[in-house]
Amino acid sequence: MDYMLEAKKEADKNLTLNEGGPFGAVIVKNGQIVGRGHNKVLKNTDPTCHAEMEAIRDACQRLGTNDLTGSELYTSCYPCPMCLSASIWANIHKIYYGNTAEDAADIGFKDEKIYDFIKGNCKDKGMVELAQLNRDTTIETFAKFARKSDKQMY
């Protein structure tokens, strides 16, 4: 089976459904598609509903786990920082992508600006401001978690 073609089919859905951008993804484990997703940002009025996020959510629900070790992600475009991070958190160690982040920028998506922000090279000073506040209060919860004998890590 051509898994990238399946990711493209997911992306193609938004050429008619208009649920979000033209992005699609599938997650494969042991030669089987275990998760599918296409961008649903507009449908769900939720900026986190990218194709990769939808596919990760679908795979986790189907498999009953948050650990997708041994899975591969096929996505129609280079993952944005959010989707790349979610893939790492899900333990997906191989990602195949079709289009580049530059290709996405060419049709109006701002992934490149976010990567620039992460690198400290962002020229758009109005994008977001980060400010630490009340660490002395919030660190207490971390300390209590560290002492828990029954803690579970993601």
In this prediction the pTM is 0.87
Supply the pLDDT for residue 86.
Answer: 97
52 included as an active-site residue: yes
Name beta bridge partners: 62: none
- Alpha-carbon span 83 to 32, nearest angstrom: 21
> Scanning the structure block, which residue is given the tokens 């194709």?
51
Supply the pLDDT for residue 88.
Answer: 96
Residue 124 above 80 pLDDT? no
Decide if 68 contacts 91 (C-beta within 8 A).
yes
Residue 125 above 70 pLDDT? no
Mean pLDDT of 91-119: 88
Provide the token pair at 43.
């449908």
The chain-wide mean pLDDT, for the chain, equals 92
Residue 152 above 90 pLDDT? no
Supply the pLDDT for residue 39.
Answer: 98
- Alpha-carbon span 53 to 56, nearest angstrom: 5
Mean pLDDT of 25-52: 98
Chain CA centroid to CA 131, Å = 24
Q: Which of 6, 10, 52, 54 is catalytic?
A: 52
Model confidence band, residue 151 (pLDDT cutoffs 50, 70, 90) = confident
